[in-house]
Amino acid sequence: MRRRIFVISVSGGLCNRLGVLICAASYSEKHNCILLVRWPIVDGFQATLPDLFDCPYRIIGEREDRIFRYLARRFDGLHMDLNYEGRKTETLSFKAPRFVTYLETIEKFGEPYLDTQFAAFSHRLIPVPAIQSNIRAFDDFLRSNTVVGVSVRSTRAHPKTIEASPTRWFIERINFLHRLAPHIKVFLSCDDAGVGDHIRRSVTCPIVALDKPFAFNSTESIRDAVADLYLLGRTKYILGSYWSSFSETAFEMRGDGAFETSQSRSMDDSRIAALLNAGV
């Protein structure tokens, strides 16, 4: 029996791409498909997949992409572009006998079981040594302290994110959590140096962050974002930006519900206090 081919074309920013890739990897494994990945380099995103991860999946270029798109449309295949209409990609099914399935989407997709498997599949992506070095530099800090991860998206963020998750909310919430648990420290992931400095000056607990150049969407800055993502996923509790795929992916990689934004929270303050004060 011939193996089916699943071609995934990603787009958007880092976490839009990673979310789709992780879904594609898990779906392909479950359905015994050969996974091919189209990872285009554009002005807004300069890092290739091998720049970021030691990835076992085959990457295709523009020419192969056109061939597989043609096969999916003309022969025993399925072509789906879910970036614009029909965005409910969880309805994707491989039960029909398709030789080539070509999927274009910026949204995560799959089956309900993936909700509980996302963290495990995300950690199969091994960052390149330069990123791993940045992550390991915080090992002692994360092991020795109760760390709250804070993910602030402000540069070129969606207007909905900026409006709903202003800097003042993060400052107020960090200071509140510090009163609940006076021993906590913060790992800050922020995409704007000025905003990060303002938060440091305004909160009452110690803050650490990755030293980075803030060269938006360069390979170096995207590598730093991957390190931030993995470090946030190792913190005890996450304060994230609303309507941010970056904050949501960090939470999903963490693998449990210790997460909040200005618009929602997974637990009340008494449970947060118990979590942050456990073992102290």
Phi, psi of 257 (to 5 degrees): -95, 20
| pLDDT at residue 97 greater than cutoff 60 | no
Give residue 272's pLDDT band: very low, low, confident or very high (50, 70, 90): very high
pLDDT of res. 90? 47
What value does the mean pLDDT take over residues 137-158?
A: 94
Structure-token pair, residue 24: 């594609």
What value does the mean pLDDT take over residues 61-81?
A: 84
The DSSP letter of residue 33 is P
Domains and CATH numbers, the chain: 5-117 (no CATH), 129-277 (3.40.50.11350)
Contact (CB, 8 A) for 135 and 227: yes
Which is it for the CA torsion 240, 245, 248, 249, positive or negative? Answer: negative
Question: Tell me: the pLDDT tens digits for 163-183?
Answer: 999 999 999 999 999 999 999
- For the ranges 59-73, 86-100, 236-250, 266-280, the lowest mean pLDDT is seen at 86-100
Burial of 204 (0-12, 13-18, 19+ CB in 10 A): exposed
Question: Tell me: the pLDDT tens digits for 239-267?
Answer: 999 999 999 999 988 888 799 999 999 99
- For the ranges 63-77, 106-120, 122-136, 142-156, the lowest mean pLDDT is seen at 106-120
| pLDDT at residue 139 greater than cutoff 90 | yes
pLDDT of res. 156? 76
For residue 257, list its beta bridge partners.
Answer: none
Mark residue 144 as left, alpha or beta (left: phi above 0; alpha: psi -120 to 50; beta: remaining). alpha
Q: Between 26 and 95, whose confidence is greater?
A: 26
Contact (CB, 8 A) for 196 and 171: no
Q: What angle do CA 101, 111, 49 make, to 5 degrees?
A: 60
The DSSP letter of residue 255 is T
pLDDT of res. 113? 55
Question: Tell me: the pLDDT tens digits for 9-53?
Answer: 999 999 999 989 998 888 888 888 899 999 999 988 999 999 999
Q: Between 166 and 73, whose confidence is greater?
A: 166
Q: Which residue has the tokens 């399925």?
A: 78
| pLDDT at residue 87 greater than cutoff 50 | no
**Start-end of H helices in 46-91:** 49-52, 62-74
Contact (CB, 8 A) for 221 and 214: yes
Give the closest residue to 36 by CA, choosing from 25, 51, 52. 25
